[in-house]
Structure 1
């Protein structure tokens, strides 16, 4: 394989009782960057110090790694600093500064509108004019493999009767990408669509855990809150944007044309294909290329009022979905809010997630040599709700 086709994802790992530090995944091994490149910025339990250096430093580190792979292969000095991935523990790769989640798939927004507001317009009037989003909770972003406990919350079982407080009965996930901000911006300034690659270091796979019954009761008029804030799971490896150069595609058409602050000179999206599995069964294959609002437009919108970016900011793209069940990106869509359960090959049926269910999302993207590169995976297992939470 051509070294230029290596995705060279960055993450944080530890071996045994050693202190966590920055590494890069190369096949089934992890390269210790502090030892390899001799730079103390990688001897940290977070990518943030490296990300704060900005795009020139990101490119230089990637070029140094590609040079080492091209000239030395897995021999000599490089070989000494490679650790089998089965021997390491992977950690949350960034200290999350702020977390924002968007709602940017036309297919998902339309499907959700039809499910939740039957007889009404599927899209709200603002949806085609701006990337709708909400400010999430940074402190509950967890790394791949972290179990997620079923949340308690207030909701109604139907339109009649009072709300009650109980464990969510409609636990769901949304298949998303997350984008990691490296270089910040000054308060009171804006970041343009064309400046996306000067601020964003890379992407992760993201599971947006969602309690649909709690969400239905709380989301009007201000949107999701407790139905989302209990957990968000990201993959342990951050794929640099430079690794996705061959995956760039012309974005989906937008009608009406966006306002000038959401318009770039050379707009692009990414041809990223994802797979959603439940308990080892493939249930959906969403594609990112059809997303209505691009990651660059989402970043520009986040700062369009002068709000600043910080190193470690994370923003989710919103559910990646399609017009048919083969690419639905949530169980709310796959089962039409639980009304049409899906049948699994092992004989089980699912409306929403049950305790001990395991969800896994993986992804691939085009490589420069014409093949495809793996972008890793993100997973989570559902734990039962605590007994009598918050009931004294």
Structure 2
């Protein structure tokens, strides 16, 4: 049962193969098994690749089965259309397009399995790329907010500087009227005289201005700090909103790109493995000598070809002979008087009918 299934997978003519030896049947059963298991591996590989895209197990398995059946049909067609020839060069030329197609199929099959085999290494590369993307994203968003925040912080520094300058000025006035009272500066008269009172009043006015300036600037600073906090909150929100895009940066294309950053030699050997599997039925047919099945198939094909060629030649000869006979018959009767008179009579009747019809049409017009 299993042997017949693999023979069916090989695409061989079962009616002819059943009359061949057991060894010949086993050869084609082996070719069919290679075709079948190649399709199985294609199903597994494509299911995994589609799972990385759709993230749905049932959809991935369904489309993976479709892809596996497509690969199975292609491989079966490739193997079944290779015919053994008496010339090796003809066989190689016949197999070349099929080998190219097998290489393409091997690439398609091997790549998803490489993604699974090197999954841990790919995840590490993706993690590094995500970290780089996260930092780049944060810096890019910060460029939108930092200039405004810096400008607001400069305004705060300016307001604080105004307070500091005013405070320095008031402190200087304080030192001036104290020195006047102590007699160490100014009039150098000990006691609280008119000059002392003048300087004291000037200091008190400056102190009042300082208190008012502190109150006003404090309110301005608090308003500016509120703007800064709002901008910082917007920055944090933008980073949080864009981070999921980076976290989901692990699709099929990203994984293939990450695979390309790994050492090429292991991937190359895996590709060679699948290439060997995919081309093995073709190579087996090219290397194997003509077997019993090939001779019987050739005998059947050449018999049909010879019969078809004979039938076509006979039809061509029949048409040619019939044309020659018709030409001879018409040439013989062309000179008979009876035929000439009959043709003359009919031609006269035709001309009369035409004249009558023309006359009738003219009367209708008038």
- What TM-score, normalized by structure 1, do the two folds share? 0.17
Structure showing greater Rg? 2
TM-score by length of 2: 0.18
Question: Which structure's residues are more often helix, by fraction?
Answer: 2
More strand by share: 1
